[in-house]
């Protein structure tokens, strides 16, 4: 119940005794009716404080004038509550802060422990309905930011700021009181928004954000306190850290990461401009969002100094987790020694699924190399008048990369899918198997690619669920298979270790499918011109080579003849060619056995092969 300041008699009639209990507490002698009303009227007042300074660790809040309205605290009470130095902890002080509103025309926030710390000056700050240190609504008309020191300079401005359900007592506990890092999360604010952010550095680089919105920020207390942990990372020379200090910082980093929880965060209208010579860049992002384990960027555009430009409709990350990273940080923090390459690899987080849509890149032509003045006329000079020295356009309709939980920093399951990858044929001129596509009449390529694998640690098997590439008016190549004998050593970052481990692998299954939708006909047409043959004549030669030549090379076994017959049928009527291979022993054939086989026939005799053409 709130006592009325202007109508004490009505307040008394409505229940002055209840007001006295709330304001004065139990055990205070009861006053007469008129005395109760007079006390209630005088308890609520407006107080003005001048030249206020509030220290929070290495942060100082300074205000020339503070007006506290509708408070039951006297000027002396407020002065004592905000007084710096030893005494009652800040959370306990802030818990006594009650007021209808607090108005601060100018609030200056300074970081005292950093040589180039930003100084932020807020205008017209108003806190409404402050109860026990909790602010129902906090607003500011705007702010200015200045960075000047340690060789860094910059200025910026903020527009309107608004926060709801801001709990100052929680902030005081998080920044000033230690905890075990395992307590419950405490909500700091309900919502926060900030408009029209702009910042310019001394080089002319500029950052602008139209609006930032956040919801449900919470935190938990940690052993070093938030202030202590943040101060520990200031001015650190990471290249020359002592092992013990490095271990301490790793533990602090894990503590901080686990101590913060954000319900959601969104920024719109982001632009970044960099104007330094040789590195000019314009980047725009219409919307950025973060919620739990999901994040997204929408309508991303950029242009570079060399004329490169690009755009992307959406980039999304789902299922991201820092759990493996934090577990490794804590492990390293408990053993102050130089981290090994294996340790650093284990810092890899769980990436989840990364998806993008409508990516477009336009790259300028490469700079022409100067002509050698001693070169003879008519000789080609690298980089001059080459067909691949033209501007390059790349596009991707959809792309998805899914990564399973990592083992020792390496994802053991994953899927990559690229749909609608378009690029000029000249861009793959040097790629084996693709370099001749331009000769077959393909000017622009439209490709789809899929790669999906999964490792079963218990069975020591690597499943190739699908490895495929397909092209518009070309066809599809698809491979499925299973490898056995795949232990964790195969994923070792040391190429020597992983390569040696692969020698123990066994081939347990292989399925190959080739589907023609135009590439074979173009190949025959191009080769016919080169060989001065009719297409049908060339096809007949290939049929003969398939039916008789391939079996001869492979040892003329029944399996070899089946492969040759299927290839001959495919050449005659190019549709689909499929090949299924299984070891007769059911356990697989080792890689070393393949290499040691004296002839192809020695390998085929150990396989069951099914070859078909449709």
C-alpha–C-alpha distance, residues 551 and 555, integer Å: 6
Q: What are phi and psi of 346, to 5 degrees?
A: -70, -5
Largest CA distance in the chain: 121
Question: What count of other Cβ atoms lies within 10 Å of the Cβ of residue 28?
Answer: 10
Residue 469 has pLDDT above 50, yes or no: yes
DSSP letter (8 states) at residue 321: B
Contacts of residue 532, defined as CB under 8 A and 6 or more positions apart, other chains included, come to: none
Task: Decide: 448 and 470 in contact? Cβ < 8 Å.
Answer: yes
With DSSP H G I counted as helix, E B as strand and the rest as coil, what are the percentages for the chain, rounded to 5?
30, 45, 30
Q: What is the pTM of this model?
A: 0.81
Most confident of 40-54, 230-244, 517-531: 517-531
What's the start-to-end Cα distance of the chain, in Å?
A: 86
C-alpha–C-alpha distance, residues 54 and 60, integer Å: 6
Segment 172-222, tens digit of pLDDT? 899 889 999 999 999 999 999 999 999 998 888 899 999 999 999 999 999
**398 sits in which H/E element:** strand 392-403
Question: What count of other Cβ atoms lies within 10 Å of the Cβ of residue 61?
Answer: 16
Could you tell me the CA-to-CA distances from 137 to 195, 196, 303, 551 in Å, in that order?
16, 20, 41, 83
Q: Map tokens 């340690």 to a residue.
A: 150
Q: SS3 for 468?
A: strand
Residue 60 has pLDDT above 50, yes or no: yes
Which pLDDT score is estimated for 379? 46
C-alpha–C-alpha distance, residues 104 and 124, integer Å: 6
Residue 380 has pLDDT above 90, yes or no: no
Most confident of 79-93, 375-389, 463-477: 463-477
Segment 247-292, tens digit of pLDDT? 999 999 999 999 999 999 999 999 999 887 777 889 999 999 999 8
Residue 126 has pLDDT above 70, yes or no: yes
- Where does residue 51 fall: left (phi above 0), alpha (psi -120 to 50 degrees), or beta otherwise? left
Residue 410: burial class (beta carbons within 10 Å; 0-12, 13-18, 19+): middle
In terms of residues, how long is the chain?
Answer: 614
DSSP letter (8 states) at residue 135: E
Between 225-234, 272-281, 518-527, the lowest mean confidence (pLDDT) is in 272-281
Q: At what angle do helices 33-43 and 8-24 cross, to 10 degrees?
A: 80
C-alpha–C-alpha distance, residues 548 and 551, integer Å: 6
Single out the residue of 164, 150, 147, 152 nearest to residue 109, CA to CA.
147
Q: SS3 for 8?
A: helix
- Could you tell me what percent of the chain has a pLDDT over 70? 87
Selected residue with higher pLDDT from 92 and 595: 92
Between 37-41, 215-219, 476-480, the lowest mean confidence (pLDDT) is in 37-41
- Where does residue 441 fall: left (phi above 0), alpha (psi -120 to 50 degrees), or beta otherwise? left
Between 261-265, 366-370, 536-540, the lowest mean confidence (pLDDT) is in 366-370
Residue 354 has pLDDT above 90, yes or no: yes
Single out the residue of 358, 357, 354, 329 nearest to residue 343, CA to CA.
329
Report the b/e string of 547-571 with b at 16+ CB within 10 A: beebbeebbebebbbbbbbbbbbbb
Residue 597 has pLDDT above 90, yes or no: no
Selected residue with higher pLDDT from 25 and 153: 153
Task: Decide: 313 and 298 in contact? Cβ < 8 Å.
Answer: yes
Residue 378 has pLDDT above 70, yes or no: no
Segment 393-442, tens digit of pLDDT? 999 999 999 998 888 788 889 999 999 999 999 888 888 878 889 889 99
Q: What are phi and psi of 6, to 5 degrees?
A: -95, -10
Which pLDDT score is estimated for 372? 54
Which pLDDT score is estimated for 214? 96
C-alpha–C-alpha distance, residues 141 and 159, integer Å: 6
Most confident of 74-78, 86-90, 244-248, 543-547: 543-547
Which pLDDT score is estimated for 12? 28
CA 153 to chain centre: 29
Which pLDDT score is estimated for 322? 93
The mean per-residue pLDDT over the stretch 576-599 comes to 90
The mean per-residue pLDDT over the stretch 231-258 comes to 89
C-alpha–C-alpha distance, residues 385 and 308, integer Å: 20
Structure tokens at 420: 């609608």
C-alpha–C-alpha distance, residues 373 and 144, integer Å: 59
Which pLDDT score is estimated for 235? 76
Which pLDDT score is estimated for 30? 35
Contacts of residue 157, defined as CB under 8 A and 6 or more positions apart, other chains included, come to: 142, 143, 144, 145, 196, 197, 198
Task: Specify which residues 531 forms β-bridges with.
Answer: none
C-alpha–C-alpha distance, residues 308 and 343, integer Å: 38
Q: Report the chain's mean pLDDT, rounded to a whole number.
A: 86
C-alpha–C-alpha distance, residues 190 and 138, integer Å: 11
- The pLDDT confidence band at residue 113, using thresholds 50, 70 and 90, is low
């Amino acid at each position: 119940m709130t006592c009325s300041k202007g109508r004490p008699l009505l307040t008394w009639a409505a229940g002055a005794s209840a007001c006295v209990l709330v304001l004065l507490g139990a055990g205070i002698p009861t006053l007469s009716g008129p005395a109760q009303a007079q006390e209630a009227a005088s308890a609520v007042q407006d107080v003005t404080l001048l030249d206020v300074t509030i220290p929070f660790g290495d942060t100082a809040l300074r205000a020339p004038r503070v007006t506290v309205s509708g408070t039951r605290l006297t000027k002396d009470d407020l002065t004592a509550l905000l007084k710096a130095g030893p005494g009652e902890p800040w959370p306990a002080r802030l818990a006594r802060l009650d007021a209808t509103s607090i108005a601060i025309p100018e609030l200056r926030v300074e970081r005292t422990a950093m040589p180039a710390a930003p100084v932020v000056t807020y205008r017209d700050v108003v806190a409404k309905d402050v109860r026990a240190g909790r602010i129902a609504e906090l607003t500011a008309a705007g702010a200015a930011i200045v960075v000047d020191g340690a060789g860094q300079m910059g200025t910026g401005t903020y527009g309107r700021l608004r926060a709801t359900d801001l709990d100052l007592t929680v902030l005081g506990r998080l920044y000033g009181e230690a905890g075990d890092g395992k307590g419950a999360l405490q909500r700091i604010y309900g919502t926060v928004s900030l408009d029209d952010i702009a910042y310019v550095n001394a080089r002319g680089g500029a950052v602008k954000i139209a609006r930032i919105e956040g919801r449900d920020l919470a935190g938990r207390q940690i052993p070093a306190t938030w202030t202590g942990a943040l101060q520990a990372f200031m001015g650190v020379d990471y290249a020359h850290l002592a092992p013990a200090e490095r271990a301490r910082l790793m533990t602090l980093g894990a503590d901080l990461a686990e101590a913060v929880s954000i319900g959601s965060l969104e920024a719109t209208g982001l632009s970044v401009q960099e104007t330094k010579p040789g590195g000019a860049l314009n980047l725009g992002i219409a919307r950025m969002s973060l919620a739990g384990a999901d994040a997204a960027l929408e309508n991303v555009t950029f242009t570079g100094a060399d004329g490169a430009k690009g755009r992307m409709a959406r980039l999304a990350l789902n299922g991201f987790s820092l759990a493996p990273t934090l577990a490794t940080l804590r492990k390293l923090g408990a053993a102050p020694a130089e981290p090994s390459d294996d340790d650093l690899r284990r810092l890899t987080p769980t990436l989840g699924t990364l998806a993008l849509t409508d990516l477009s890149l336009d790259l300028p032509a490469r700079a022409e190399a100067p002509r050698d003045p001693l070169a003879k006329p008519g000789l080609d000079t690298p980089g001059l008048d080459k067909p691949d020295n033209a501007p390059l356009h790349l596009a991707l309709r959809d792309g998805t990369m899914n990564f399973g939980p990592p083992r020792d920093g390496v994802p053991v399951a994953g899927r990559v899918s690229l749909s609608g990858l378009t690029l000029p044929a000249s861009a793959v001129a040097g790629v084996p198997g693709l370099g001749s596509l331009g000769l077959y009449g393909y000017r622009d390529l439209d490709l789809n690619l899929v790669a999906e694998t999964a490792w079963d640690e218990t069975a020591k098997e690597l499943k190739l669920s699908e490895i495929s590439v397909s092209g518009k008016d070309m066809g599809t190549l698809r491979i499925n298979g299973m490898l056995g004998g795949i232990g964790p050593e195969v994923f070792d970052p040391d190429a020597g270790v992983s390569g040696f481990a692969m020698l123990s692998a066994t081939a347990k299954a292989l399925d190959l499918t080739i589907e023609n939708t135009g590439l074979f006909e173009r190949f025959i047409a191009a080769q016919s011109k080169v060989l001065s043959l009719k297409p049908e004549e060339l096809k007949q030669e290939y049929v003969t080579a398939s039916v008789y030549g391939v079996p001869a090379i492979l040892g003329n076994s029944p399996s070899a003849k089946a492969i040759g017959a299927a290839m001959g049928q495919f050449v005659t009527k190019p549709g689909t060619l499929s090949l299924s291979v299984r070891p007769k022993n059911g356990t697989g054939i080792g890689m070393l056995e393949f290499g040691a086989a004296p002839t192809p026939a020695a390998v085929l005799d150990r396989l069951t092969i099914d070859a078909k053409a449709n």
